[in-house]
Structure 1
Amino acid sequence: MNCGCAEVVTPGLLDLFAARERIIASCRPVQGRERVALGDAEGRVLAEAAEAALDLPGVDNSAMDGYALRVAELGPEGLPVVQRIPAGAGVLHLPEGGCARIFTGAPVPLGADAVVPQEKVRLDAAGRVHVEGKPAGGANIRRRGEESRAGAPLLPAGTRLEAAAIALLASHGIAEVTVHRRVRVALFSTGDELIEPGASRVPGQVFDSNRAMLKALMGQPGVEVLDLGVVLDDPLDLHQALTRARDEADLVVCSGGVSVGEEDHVRPAIERLGGIAFHGVGIKPGKPFALGYLGASLATGIPLIALPGNPVASLVGWQFLALPLLQGRQGMAPSALQRFSVTAGFSRRGPRGRRELLRVVIDWATGEPVARLAGGQGSHMLSAASQAHGYLLVDADTDVEEGHAYGYCPAAQFGR
């Protein structure tokens, strides 16, 4: 039975996008850099810009297999093949009145001003080349330095190194890069009812799914997770956990106990060691989200993210609000939120006073994207979240009407 608690409108909640902006504005990269081999740099963040080490391409080369020639020498009698140039050959000079058999990536011989693809060439009985039509000057030639010039900017500082970026650096012969050191994140869950997966369970106890989920979300080369386990709803235990997190980590992430009930002790424990920048965001699920800090201020202390205890609320809070802070600590510019419109394939009464983020799957059966509910939308229901392709964003006090368009955020943009 629904008691209607989720429909209670809480005054003073911060708008989702305003909260995101405040978090991004607070981002500070961790101090410290290190040199790593390019082969070990996947997922790390450049701490300084990379420059091109050489011209790419290094010489004019052929974009395809074909024949290099002088366009002005083409005629009805054809051209004899006087050279064969494979990739890796040196730069040759093309004799007048002849053409060169050339292969993709091979240096274009001096004097040639076009490459004709082999499929547009006919060889006569004497082996002379005849070309269909007249190629344009420069056709199918990759010019020296057309991709980059030595000394030119290659990748800016703050780039997260993925496969293509690593390949680009390797193509310039760069073997090592300077990256930000790993961000150390202290992680714990709170709750007397929580137990570890695999432990013996009695009625009333709940397996801790949030910590497993958050560790997976943070599982990347540029992050080191300090797992502090489950912390009891006890002021002393919370104080000890937060003190250790402050002293050993660059970012603190906790879940549970951040609401305003009598057994919610996280906020007072944070305030004894630091403070709260804001508490409460106008989203469903995820309202109890808080941004805090351990130390003198948010600008100088250790930032802290307090996520709700309900697992889907915790997931939403991480993806939309906490992830940009982690990216900023890594030295990256936080990713912009990707949003576009999709048609709703269902009707539903909208939330009162809060923006709702419905977990949906996208149906392409009609050729156009249609959002359908992934399952139950309770903030404790991980089954729908595990199947969802993304979120339908429904404004506060707005009902969802089948066939109407609404904002959609794909879950894939949030990474793991």
Structure 2
Amino acid sequence: MNCQCAEIVTPGLLNLFDARQRVIDAATPINAVENVSLEQSAGRVLAEMVVAPLDMPGVDNSAMDGYALCLADYQAAPRGAGLPILQRVPAGAGVMLLPEGGCARIFTGAPVPIGADIVVPQERVTLDKRGHIHLEGSLVLGANIRRQGEETRMGTPLLAAGKFLDSASIALLASHGINIVAVKRRLRVALLSTGDELIAPGAVRSPGQVYDSNRAMLNVLLAQAQCDVLDLGVIADSPQSLHQAFEHAQTIADVVICTGGVSVGEEDHVRPVIEQRGGLHFHGVAMKPGKPFAFGYLGAEPSTCTPLMALPGNPVASLVGWQLLALPFIHAMQGRHLAALQCFPVTAGFSQRGPKGRCELLRVVLDWSQGSPVAQLAGGQGSHMLGAASQADGYLMINSETDVAEGEAYHYYPINQFVA
């Protein structure tokens, strides 16, 4: 399904999908490579293609517990005679020669004896008093034999550079005997919050103070994205403090992420400081929540600078900005293959007025009680309301100038696609 949609955008704001493409296009993948053990490779990004060092399977082996035999021997035996069991082949045994005129008891994964051309599952075999086997049902030559190299041949590509190493990929590498892989170095990300009102969770709060949830959230999200987080803490709402923090961040990090102070109020100093220390690619995205998102750089030249993403201070806006804009940039910097956004049509179980001049991402949960999914609001939709964000399983995207009508279908974006 095409998840991009036409938008009537407020002048000065960038369409969400254009903004997403611009951050991806601006990313320069890191080149540094390190070798790690397979046990340490989970979540890392392959730096180079991995080629199969051997055939898989390595030998013809049995797909079932049963009996390996030469079909011609069975068919040539006198009527009712069956075949004697002359061999036993467990998994892990070497390749054997099938005794002439007999069959082998064989187990799943065991090498098929030379001379056998079929494995008959034990459920289709009966034994007579002499211990001879008798077969039931139709017999197909080659049945239940996994052929050497049928999955991969030695020397063929196994995994491409840029592959995110998940559990299945790691299992594939392990099955081929690979225990060391070349991966991209972890991104170093400097993280800071801005705001005189922010205090650490657990501290005694005075009137007007707010617990810093954004930095706690982004620490987790960056760790999930396999980044090394350089947490610079809370920075005071002053140009001087921001200049000092950005100067330090630029020297230690591949990417800088800050939250708060990125709007256009008198106490929002992030944008002018970025412009003084580098520049902005864009500021302002036509989405709700998350409009104040800014993407820029620290340094004299965009090509040699340190990229910076400034997320809004409201926590849900910060989360949405991370998921839709910052995370794909991080993935592109890591050299990962980027998947297209996934969405599908879902019926709304509610009605409400639509957004003006920007699309809106409503936090919803799917109700499957009637068989087909119906989207219901997960709670309050304010950009400061984390409760709905913590309960939601997806976003219902509403185009600008479009009211939500109960019973109508809209684009639904599962949140699990934004988990790094």
Per the normalisation by structure 2, the TM-score is: 0.94
Query: Shift of the alpha carbon at 1:182?
Result: 1.2
CA distance in 1, matches of 2:139, 2:58: 24
Amino acid at match of 1:309: G
C-alpha offsets along residues 372-409 of structure 1, whole Å, 9 cap, x if unaligned?
A: 10000000000000110110111111111111111111
Amino acid at match of 2:89: I
CA distance in 2, matches of 1:354, 1:59: 60
CA distance in 2, matches of 1:305, 1:137: 62
Does the residue aligned with 1:218 lie in a helix, a strand or coil?
helix
C-alpha offsets along residues 229-255 of structure 1, whole Å, 9 cap, x if unaligned?
A: 111110010001111111110001001
Correspondence 1:18-167 to 2 at 5 A:
18-75=18-75, 76-77=79-80, 78-167=82-171
Q: Which ranges of structure 1 fall in alignment gaps of 5 or more residues? A: 1-8
Amino acid at match of 1:365: S
Query: Shift of the alpha carbon at 1:222?
Result: 2.9
Q: Select the residue among 198, 205, 208 that pairs with 2:202.
A: 198
Q: 2:316: which partner in 1?
A: 312
CA contact (8 A) 1:325 1:334 kept: no
Q: 2:5: which partner in 1?
A: none
CA distance in 2, matches of 1:229, 1:327: 24
CA contact (8 A) 2:224 2:419 kept: no
Correspondence 1:15-414 to 2 at 5 A:
15-75=15-75, 76-77=79-80, 78-220=82-224, 222-414=226-418
C-alpha offsets along residues 8-57 of structure 1, whole Å, 9 cap, x if unaligned?
A: x8422111111111111112112311111111111111111111111111
Amino acid at match of 1:130: H
CA distance in 1, matches of 2:325, 2:121: 52
How many residues end up aligned between the 2 structures? 408
CA contact (8 A) 1:42 1:221 kept: no
CA contact (8 A) 2:57 2:151 kept: yes
CA distance in 1, matches of 2:225, 2:194: 26
CA contact (8 A) 1:277 1:298 kept: no
CA distance in 2, matches of 1:104, 1:383: 50
CA distance in 2, matches of 1:122, 1:107: 23
Amino acid at match of 2:272: P
CA distance in 1, matches of 2:212, 2:248: 21
CA distance in 2, matches of 1:292, 1:237: 19
Query: Shift of the alpha carbon at 1:336?
Result: 2.1
| Residues 194/212 of structure 1: CA separation in 2 closer, same or farther (3 Å cut) | same
CA distance in 2, matches of 1:235, 1:62: 70
CA distance in 1, matches of 2:339, 2:275: 30
Does the residue aligned with 1:54 lie in a helix, a strand or coil?
coil
Amino acid at match of 2:68: A
CA distance in 2, matches of 1:282, 1:320: 12
CA distance in 2, matches of 1:299, 1:363: 47
Does the residue aligned with 2:223 lie in a helix, a strand or coil?
coil
Per the normalisation by structure 1, the TM-score is: 0.95
C-alpha offsets along residues 128-181 of structure 1, whole Å, 9 cap, x if unaligned?
A: 111112221111110001111111111111112122211211122212111111
CA contact (8 A) 1:57 1:146 kept: yes
Amino acid at match of 1:83: Q
Query: Shift of the alpha carbon at 1:296?
Result: 2.9
Q: Which ranges of structure 2 fall in alignment gaps of 5 or more residues? A: 1-8
C-alpha offsets along residues 82-134 of structure 1, whole Å, 9 cap, x if unaligned?
A: 21111111111223322111000000111111111111111122221111122
Once the two structures are overlaid, the 10-residue window that deviates more, 92-101 or 390-399, is 92-101
Amino acid at match of 1:326: I
CA distance in 2, matches of 1:402, 1:120: 56
Amino acid at match of 1:152: T
Amino acid at match of 2:156: A
CA contact (8 A) 1:79 1:130 kept: yes
CA distance in 2, matches of 1:59, 1:74: 24
CA contact (8 A) 1:42 1:161 kept: yes
Does the residue aligned with 1:167 lie in a helix, a strand or coil?
helix
Does the residue aligned with 2:231 lie in a helix, a strand or coil?
strand
Query: Shift of the alpha carbon at 1:221?
Result: 7.2
Does the residue aligned with 2:308 lie in a helix, a strand or coil?
strand
CA distance in 2, matches of 1:150, 1:15: 47
